Structure 1
Amino acid sequence: MASLEYAERHPRLTDAVIVLALLGAAVIGANLIGPGESRPQDIWVAEVVTGIACLALFKARERPRGTVVVATVCAVVTGSLGFILSPLLLAPLMVALYWLAATTDSRTTWWYGGVATVLTVGTAVGVDFDEMVALRAIGPALWLLLPLAMGSRIRLRHAWLDAVQARAEHAERTREEEARLRVTQERMRIARDLHDVVAHHMAVANAQAGTAAHLLESDPALTKKILTDLKATTSSVMLELRDTVGVLRQTGSDAETLEPAPGLAQLPDLLKVCGSAGLAVSLEIEGEPRELPPGIDLTAYRIIQEALTNATKYSASATAALRLRYGGTRLTITVTNDRRSNEQPRRGSTGYGIIGMRERANAVGGDLRVSDSGAAGFEVVTALPLPPHTPAPQAAL
């Protein structure tokens, strides 16, 4: 393993060692003779030609096709001079075919490799068809097909490893994008909670302070009561802010136990706070109330809270109507102001209150509609999905 890593880090040095080894093998191969055969003349010619094929291997990585062509021509010339095309003389062509198969596509590999094999085997067979013709043909063919197969295997393995790495990188990018998306969604949720808490309580506190200032001289007793309610309102907002921000500080099992998220069970307290701010809210419930899933319960409470906050801030009258209708699969919430002042937010406004209500409704699969027609006043209608209602079994008498 260490030698492979060293060879990959120093490819030129590795190629030089291979070329020197092949030059030595060429010298030995040029001096081989078969049984009963005479030694060919001009051995130096075979050594020079094979040396050229070895030197061409320095370009095998960058130009595998040209290297195969040069090595094939050298092998054909050597065979034509009468030398035995043993693996020692075919070694440069074998290395060239390996790099061709490892660095090019299958079509190019088998096209160049097939032509090189046919020419080399044809040179080895010659024109004498004696009892040794099969041996002269099979030997060179097998030696040349071996590097083609090995190079193709290496190429396919590298392609598989590249595909695995690409999939891993894609999965990592997907996980990072999903994590960023979750962080963004969590930030939006916390921003909505903070807006709901601060906007509602500050609007109520502002109305209470204004009422107390107005009644300070005429009705001191009522003023004292309103100021007491104002203290309770500001304490409530501080507690809710502490709980909301505390979620950001949670660290596993060391996190503090926070109060349950608000829901429609706290609706009477919400209406009482609105009343202390001078907004009388009439409540009408249609259908059979039932326990809601936590997400739907919180969403319904927050939407009602924001809608009543808008009524407290903008309504010219001191009344609002809240209607809850429990259907088979939907909970419909309607908040209506009898009248609205010129400061009432218009439909399509970019105010964060309406945007937050709509996002909350959409997040749980519901929808929200805002109407600000002059005839009907300002109305917020929300439809939230409900699970199928299963009546409780009656006890046997």
Structure 2
Amino acid sequence: MDRNRTGWRDDIFDVLVALALVAFGLIGTGPAGANEGIPTGRATYPVVVVAALALAVRRRWPLATLAVGTAAVTAYLVLGYPYGPILLSFFVAVYTVAACLPLRTAAVACGVALVALLVHVFVGVRSPGLLGLMPAAAWVVVPFAVGTTVRLGRESAARGRVDEARRLADAERLRVAREVHDVVGHGLAAIHMQAEIALHLLAKRPEQAEAALTAISRTSKEALDELRVTLTVVRRDEAADERAPAPGLAQLPQLRERLAGAGVPVTVEVDGAPRPLPVAVDLAAYRVVQESLTNVLRHAGPATAAVRLRYAPGEVAVEVTDTGRGPLPGAGRPPGPGYGLAGMRERVTALGGSFTAGPGPGGGFRVYATLPVEETS
């Protein structure tokens, strides 16, 4: 943990911990000595207080805190004072270094502290001998293990948050790319087809080319308006542009007119009573129709298309068929699923629906999607 990133709440908590250990040391050192049959005097308590007060800055300067605590505890034990509350201050100092610093730095610092702590085992006034090695080492090994576990858990949680943020960002980029692909792809496909018609008619029948150019102008404006709405939704800090409605099935008549102007007659059939749909479902259904008709423009050749909507309890179904070329290699339509089909599938399955696409029963191509709709009571 960076010492400069500790907040004032952490500082206050550390001060309270230090004061609590000071009080505990002043109260508990005497009884600890009496229990071990070791007398304590006035010189005992300043060392106890210093070891505890160092913890007030333990997260800002963990190494300095450990150094002060190690010196105080080593001196305390070498002078022959009893095992007591001062060891709790040392425990917290070791834990802080292990929890806040990189593993290598923490291991070196705690290793030095362990060597210093073991001095009293051999040269102390009341040396416990080799039998004191294990108890003394435990006061370093245990807090070091606990602190390292806490640090690793904290780092793992931080990595998890970063990964989740990255995943959400990737999902948002994919969603934006899919929206822009659907809007721009459809508009450009329609404009391309209308431009081809205009170029074909310009030399022979210029008066009819004007209608195609007018359709190009209208289609480009509609596509720009829809793209503006899409980008405004992405930029949530700006107010929505109300000049163009949010994409949905209500815009199918405009979509049909746009395709008719590009030379693809489209029929729309509705089975069941139309009803308001959730925004996400309405948008997904519209995008399925839009992308399917865009594929008809791009790949089907001379063809007609039919859109069928079925409103049923608990779901809405969308079917788009055409009479153009089937998905045969070399026939103009790609045999495998393209980005558009993959995007439609992702949209539908993300909402819990089903999606199929392939050759139609009577030729051409068929796209069929069902989207669940929660019934409101």
Q: TM-score of the superposition, structure 2-length normalised?
A: 0.65
CA drift of 1:170 comes to 3.1
Q: Distance in 1 between matches of 2:365 and 2:351?
A: 24
Aligned residue among 44, 66, 69 for 1:8: 66
- Structure 1 counterpart SS, 2:276: coil
Aligned residue among 58, 61, 64 for 2:114: 61
Distance 1:387 1:249, change over 3 A: closer
Report whether the alignment pairs 1:222 with 2:208: yes
Distance 1:93 1:224, change over 3 A: same
**Is the Cα contact below 8 Å between 1:60 and 1:96 reproduced in 2?**
no
Q: Distance in 2 between matches of 1:374 and 1:264?
A: 26
Q: How does 1:10-25 map to 2 (within 5 A)?
A: 13=71, 17-18=75-76, 21-22=79-80
Unaligned runs of 5+ in 2: 1-51, 59-63, 83-110
Partner of 2:188: 202
Which structure has the larger Rg over C-alpha atoms? 1
Aligned residue among 294, 301, 310 for 1:316: 301
Partner of 2:239: 256
CA drift of 1:324 comes to 0.9
**How large is the RMSD of aligned CA atoms in angstroms?**
3.5
Q: How does 1:265-276 map to 2 (within 5 A)?
A: 265-276=250-261
Aligned residue among 219, 222, 227 for 1:236: 222
**Is the Cα contact below 8 Å between 2:255 and 2:290 reproduced in 1?**
yes
Partner of 2:368: 381
Distance 1:374 1:314, change over 3 A: farther
Partner of 2:156: 170
Aligned residue among 126, 136, 142 for 1:99: 136
- Structure 1 counterpart SS, 2:302: coil
CA drift of 1:344 comes to 1.6
Report whether the alignment pairs 1:343 with 2:347: no
**Is the Cα contact below 8 Å between 1:328 and 1:389 reproduced in 2?**
no
Q: Distance in 1 between matches of 2:291 and 2:113?
A: 74
Partner of 1:284: 269
**Is the Cα contact below 8 Å between 2:325 and 2:333 reproduced in 1?**
yes
CA drift of 1:337 comes to 0.9
CA drift of 1:389 comes to 6.4
Aligned length: 285
**Is the Cα contact below 8 Å between 2:303 and 2:324 reproduced in 1?**
no
Distance 1:16 1:99, change over 3 A: closer
Q: Distance in 2 between matches of 1:281 and 1:163?
A: 65
**Is the Cα contact below 8 Å between 1:60 and 1:99 reproduced in 2?**
no
Structure 1 runs of 4+ aligned residues shifted over 6 Å read 91-95
CA drift of 1:315 comes to 1.8
Unaligned runs of 5+ in 1: 26-57, 76-87, 105-154, 391-397
**Is the Cα contact below 8 Å between 1:279 and 1:318 reproduced in 2?**
yes
Report whether the alignment pairs 1:364 with 2:351: yes
CA-to-aligned-CA distance 1:273-326 (integer Å, 9 cap, x gap):
111111100111112221111100000001100000111122223311111112
Q: Distance in 1 between matches of 2:202 and 2:163?
A: 57
**Is the Cα contact below 8 Å between 1:7 and 1:14 reproduced in 2?**
no
- Structure 2 counterpart SS, 1:332: strand
1:314 maps to a residue whose letter is H
- Structure 1 counterpart SS, 2:126: helix
Q: Distance in 2 between matches of 1:100 and 1:334?
A: 74
Distance 1:94 1:352, change over 3 A: same
Aligned residue among 355, 366, 378 for 2:342: 355
1:211 maps to a residue whose letter is I
| Higher deviation after alignment, 240-249 or 311-320 | 240-249
CA drift of 1:93 comes to 7.9
Q: How does 1:105-254 map to 2 (within 5 A)?
A: 155=142, 162-251=148-237
CA drift of 1:265 comes to 0.7
Q: Distance in 2 between matches of 1:7 and 1:373?
A: 76
CA drift of 1:185 comes to 0.6
- Structure 2 counterpart SS, 1:382: strand
Q: TM-score of the superposition, structure 1-length normalised?
A: 0.62
| Higher deviation after alignment, 197-206 or 316-325 | 316-325
Distance 1:248 1:381, change over 3 A: closer
**Is the Cα contact below 8 Å between 1:366 and 1:384 reproduced in 2?**
yes
- Structure 2 counterpart SS, 1:288: coil
**Is the Cα contact below 8 Å between 1:196 and 1:306 reproduced in 2?**
yes
**Is the Cα contact below 8 Å between 2:70 and 2:116 reproduced in 1?**
no
Q: Distance in 2 between matches of 1:264 and 1:333?
A: 10
Distance 1:331 1:209, change over 3 A: same
CA drift of 1:2 comes to 4.6
Q: Percent identity?
A: 35
